[in-house]
């Protein structure tokens, strides 16, 4: 009888195994129709008549994307794609849409391409360099005769003008952010664009720097398609910006191919106008640009390590272990720390209204006590230059910016950190001492106690904030940490029309990276008082610092052309910044993280790679770095 039960139970077990075995493939079926319909096969992907330069047969259902024709990315796209609308800032479509200082030009194109390595703007849709008129009030450039849209029609000056008019009409971020500096953009003839700068009372351009940066940081969108979109949405701004725009016409080398919850793929437009000798003279090497959507850094890193990702734009801690310990064909732009080119300065801002933080001595003492070497080594895993290598100023570590201020003049003001004695001395001299013997210093009878904060889950920032808090203990100032969710954090920090609430005494935000207006743009963001009073301030100076001399200098620099005068002005700004310490830089961060796995593709940009102009390490998709896509070769 026992045996029977045993048989029965073993049968049950076998049944379970069978179930698990045949139960598995079936449920996969529903996965199929779930795709957010592949946004309309791009027109003219596979021209039958004209022999395409690469003779790849069309992709059959079930075929993998050919590995040797696909370049895989990580760290750009998080979460599924929402739309393809170049007017919207809410599409979560990182492979196609990211306008800015180093605009992403895979699908949409800017007239010029900015190169963060040499600071120059190179023509893309534009033909030759732009020119200012004698008064520097009008900027003129031509459109390349070869430039075409994906529907085959030529790109015209009218498209550029209409794009601007649309931004203004629908009050997009681009429109709102630039209309104080740009009066109008007009088409002089079908191929000539004139940007008219807004003039001040003296008849001079308000800010020629922003006008010239405009041409490399904003997409040109087709007029005909824009009108179609307007018609469809009936002039309603909300609908206009919320349109998914799956029929969008573009001018770039890649168009949409496939997008769902797990990946987004762009496919090369083999009729791309840029193969004309007046631009690149050929098509970019990869036929597909693919980006798997990972749920966290670790998953993306595992794929990168396995060679399923070629270009990684993630913070990969201890990236050097991949080649030192595992011998993988992985490399970064620089072979040694900091591995990349530092471009932005993640910064801790002081809430200048908090008790005691109105005192320069307290601000400077905390900043001097922080152990920056540990931040660089632990939080950034050495992917940042140290403050011994690049002393603090307002400049990023690139040689171009470093040359803009007088290093000797500010030498005495720069601090390297972990200088507890000097910090304590500073506090003692300012009369901020421990009067009641509890180990914490008081100011006006009230204990100095602050909350240091940054968004939850931003790992390297959180690690840095922990180290800032630890510094407080050493000099008798209580600093605790708190990490609100980003959705809460962003609404609090960017609300500059009211004092910051409690709990935001020392808080971390970014500063601008590399771009055509830098370092002026970064300094303006960090220090200008013009941001105070904005209800949604995404620019900077979140601690609400105000200094009239600084405002004067910020206003004067864009119209200054004499390099000596400029250096003088920048040095003065650095001096004020290091003396007043309204905020302080915690680390240097690259514009983009850029690590490559060379198991399939090689010839990625790296230091001294012989390219001229040099290709910057921006993942081959941003600004001038897209030139790198034309240099890629396969590993033999």
Partner 1 sequence: MKGYWKYFLNKLGWFAITFVFAFVLNFILPRLMPGDPVAAIVSRLAQGMSNATGVQAIYQQYADLFGTNRPMHEQFFIYVRNVFRGDFGFSFSQYPRPVAEVLGASIWWTIALQFPAILVGWIIGNTLGALAAYLKGGFDKVLMPVSIFVSNFPPFGMAVILLAIFGVTLKWFPIAGGYGFDLIPSFSWNFFWSVFIHYQLPFWSIVLIAIGGQAIGMRSMAIYELNADYVKFSRFMGIKDQKIIGYVFRNAMLPQITGLALSIGTMVGGALVAEIVFSYPGLGYTLMNGVMGQDYPLISAATLIITIMVLTANFIIEILYGIIDPRIKAAQSEQ
Partner 2 sequence: MKHTLRQVFRSGKFLFGFSIFVSLVLIVLIYPLLVPDDPLRILGQGTFFPPGIYVNTYDSINTSTKYTLNLPNADVRRLESKLSQEDRLAMREWLIAAGIAESEIDIENTSSLLALWNSNYDPKKSIPGMTNARRNYFIRLNNSLKGLTMAGDLVVASKNAESGGLEDLGVVKDTDYVNISEVANVRLLLLGTDNFGRDMLTELVTATRVSLQIGFVAGLIATLIGLTLGLLAGYVGGIVDDIIMFFTNLFTVIPSFVLLILISYSLGQEQRGAFTVATVIGFTSWVWTTRAVRAQVVSLRNRDHVNLSKLSGHSIAHIIIHDILPYIASYVVMALILQISSGILAEAGLSILGLGPKTTEVPTLGLIMRWAMIYQAHIQGNWWAYLPVLVTIALITFSMNLMNTGLDQVFNPALRD
Q: Is the peptide bond between 613 and the residue preceding it cis, with omega within 30 degrees of 0?
A: yes
- The verdict on 599 binding partner 1 (CB under 8 A) reads no
Binding residue (CB under 8 A) for partner 2 from 70, 110, 121, 297: 297
153, 227, 262, 358: which one binds partner 1 (CB under 8 A): 262
Cβ atoms 346, 586 nearer than 8 A: yes
Q: What is the CA radius of gyration of the chain?
A: 27
Neighbour-count burial for 379-416, b at 16+ CB within 10 Å, e otherwise? bbbbbbbbbeebbbbbbbbbeebeebbeeeebeebebe
Residue 233 interaction partner, one of partner 2, partner 1, none, beta carbon < 5-8 Å per kind: none
Among 316, 528, 539, 585, which residue sits at the site for partner 2 (rule: CB under 8 A)? 316
Q: Which of residues 274-303 bind partner 1 (CB under 8 A)?
A: 290, 292-296, 298-300, 302-303
Least separation in angstroms between residue 472's CB and partner 1 is 28
Extract the tokens encoding 322.
């991949």
CA-to-CA dists, residue 207 to 202, 375, 435, 520, 568, angstroms: 13, 37, 51, 11, 20
Task: Examine residue 261 and tell whether it contacts partner 1 (CB under 8 A).
Answer: yes
Phi and psi for 111 in degrees, rounded to 5? Answer: -60, -40
134 counts as binding partner 1 under rule CB under 8 A: no
Cβ neighbours of residue 386 under 8 Å, at least 6 residues apart?
372, 373, 376
**Is residue 3 a contact point for partner 1 (CB under 8 A)?**
no
Nearest to 323 by CA among 309, 335, 308: 335
Locate 511 and state its tokens: 């500063």
- Contacted by 596, from partner 2, partner 1, none: CB < 5 to 8 Å by type: partner 2
Which is nearer to partner 2, 288 or 301 (by Cβ)?
301
- For residue 63, state whether it binds partner 1 (rule: CB under 8 A): yes
Question: Given the complex with partner 2, which of 440 and 483 has the nearer CB atom?
Answer: 483
Q: How far is the CB of 296 from partner 1 (least distance, A)?
A: 6
Q: Does 292 bind partner 2 (CB under 8 A)?
A: no
Q: Does 246 contact partner 1 by CB under 8 A?
A: no
Q: Of 321 and 572, which has the nearer Cβ to partner 1?
A: 321
C-alpha distances in Å from residue 222, one per residue of 66, 179, 218, 548: 32, 21, 13, 43
Q: Which does 598 bind (CB under 5 to 8 A by kind): partner 1, partner 2, none?
A: partner 2
Nearer to partner 2, 224 or 328 (CB): 328
CB 473 within 8 A of CB 376: no
- Cα torsion angle, 500, 501, 505, 508, sign: negative
Binding mask 430-459 for partner 2 (x = CB under 8 A): --------------------------xx-x
| Interaction residues for partner 1, span 150-209 (CB under 8 A) | 171, 173-174, 176-177, 180
Do the Cβ atoms of 522 and 110 come closer than 8 Å? no
Near partner 2 by CB under 8 A, which window of 208-216, 252-260, 277-285, 480-488? 480-488
Shortest Cβ distance from residue 266 to partner 1 (Å)?
13
CA distances from 400 to 4, 197, 625 (A): 85, 27, 18
Give the H/E segment covering residue 193: strand 192-197
* Residue 510 touches partner 1, criterion: CB under 8 A: no
Q: What region does 431 belong to: left with phi over 0, alpha with psi -120 to 50, or beta? A: left
d(CA 129, CA 122): 7
Residues sharing a CB contact under 8 Å with residue 454, sequence separation 6 or more, in sequence order: 461, 462, 464, 465, 483, 489, 507, 508
Among 92, 374, 378, 402, binds partner 1 (CB under 8 A): 92
**Cβ at position 174, least distance to partner 1 in Å:** 7
Q: Which does 95 bind (CB under 5 to 8 A by kind): partner 1, partner 2, none?
A: none
**Among the residue ranges 1-9, 13-21, 227-235, 318-326, the one whose residues contact partner 2 (CB under 8 A):** 318-326
Task: For residue 536, state whether it binds partner 2 (rule: CB under 8 A).
Answer: no
Per CB under 8 A, does 2 bind partner 2?
no
| Contacted by 297, from partner 1, partner 2, none: CB < 5 to 8 Å by type | partner 2
Query: Which residues of the shown chain bind partner 2 in the complex (CB under 8 A)?
Result: 296-298, 301-302, 305, 316-318, 321, 323-325, 327-331, 335, 373-374, 377-378, 381-382, 456-457, 459, 462-463, 466-467, 469-470, 480-485, 488, 503, 596, 598, 602, 604, 606, 609, 635-636
């Amino acid at each position: 009888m026992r045996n029977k039960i045993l048989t029965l139970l073993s049968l049950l077990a076998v049944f379970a195994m069978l179930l698990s075995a045949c139960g598995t493939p079936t449920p996969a079926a529903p996965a199929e129709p779930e795709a957010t319909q592949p946004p309309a096969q791009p027109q003219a992907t596979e021209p039958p008549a004209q022999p395409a330069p690469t003779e790849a047969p069309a992709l059959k259902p079930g075929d993998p994307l050919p590995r040797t024709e696909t370049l895989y990315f990580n760290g750009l796209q998080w979460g599924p794609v929402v739309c393809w609308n170049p007017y919207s800032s809410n599409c979560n479509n990182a492979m196609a849409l990211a306008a800015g200082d180093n605009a992403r030009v895979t699908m949409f194109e800017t007239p010029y391409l900015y190169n963060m390595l040499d600071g120059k703007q190179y023509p893309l849709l534009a033909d030759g360099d732009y020119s200012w008129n004698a008064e520097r009030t009008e900027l003129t450039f031509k459109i390349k005769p070869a430039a075409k849209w994906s529907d085959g029609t030529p790109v015209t000056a009218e498209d550029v003008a209409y794009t601007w008019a649309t931004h203004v009409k629908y009050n997009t971020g681009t429109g709102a952010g630039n209309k104080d500096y740009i009066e109008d953009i007009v088409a002089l003839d079908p191929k000539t664009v004139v940007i008219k700068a807004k003039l001040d009372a003296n008849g001079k351009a308000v800010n020629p720097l922003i006008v010239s940066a405009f041409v490399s940081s904003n997409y040109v969108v087709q007029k005909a398609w824009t009108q179609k979109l307007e018609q469809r949405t009936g002039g309603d701004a909300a609908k206009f910006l919320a349109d998914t725009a799956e029929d969008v016409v573009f001018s770039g080398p890649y168009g949409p191919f496939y997008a769902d919850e797990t990946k987004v793929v762009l496919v090369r437009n083999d009729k791309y106008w840029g193969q004309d000798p007046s631009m690149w003279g050929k098509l970019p090497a990869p036929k597909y640009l693919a980006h798997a959507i990972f749920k966290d850094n670790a998953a993306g890193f595992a794929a990168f390590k396995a060679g399923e990702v070629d270009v990684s734009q993630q913070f990969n801690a201890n990236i050097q272990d991949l080649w030192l310990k595992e011998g993988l064909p992985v490399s970064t732009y620089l072979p040694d720390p900091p591995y990349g080119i530092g471009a932005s300065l993640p910064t801790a801002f002081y809430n200048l209204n908090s008790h005691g933080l109105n005192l320069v001595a307290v601000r400077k003492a905390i900043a001097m006590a922080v152990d920056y070497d540990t931040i660089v080594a632990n939080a950034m895993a050495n992917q940042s230059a140290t403050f011994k290598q690049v002393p603090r100023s307002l400049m990023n570590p690139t040689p171009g910016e470093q040359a803009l201020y007088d290093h000797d003049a500010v030498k005495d003001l720069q601090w390297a950190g972990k200088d507890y004695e000097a910090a304590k001395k500073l506090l003692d001299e300012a009369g901020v001492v421990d009067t009641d013997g509890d180990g914490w210093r008081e100011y006006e009878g009230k204990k100095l106690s602050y909350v240091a904060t940054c968004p939850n889950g931003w790992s390297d920032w959180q690690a840095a904030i922990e180290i800032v808090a630890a510094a407080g203990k050493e000099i008798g100032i209580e600093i605790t940490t708190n990490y609100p969710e980003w959705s809460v954090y962003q609404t609090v920090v960017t609300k500059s029309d009211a004092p910051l609430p409690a709990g935001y005494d020392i808080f971390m935000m970014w500063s601008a990276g590399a771009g055509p207006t830098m370092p002026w743009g970064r300094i303006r963001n960090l220090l200008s008082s013009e941001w105070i009073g904005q209800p949604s301030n995404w620019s900077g100076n979140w601690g609400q610092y105000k200094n009239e001399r600084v405002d004067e200098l910020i206003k004067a620099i864009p119209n200054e052309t004499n390099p000596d005068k400029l250096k003088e002005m920048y040095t003065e700004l650095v001096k004020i910044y290091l003396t007043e310490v309204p905020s302080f830089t915690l680390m240097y961060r690259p514009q983009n993280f850029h690590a490559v796995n060379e198991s399939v593709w090689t010839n990625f940009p790296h230091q001294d790679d012989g390219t001229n102009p040099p290709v910057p390490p921006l993942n081959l998709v941003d600004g001038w770095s897209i030139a790198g896509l034309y240099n890629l070769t396969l590993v033999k």
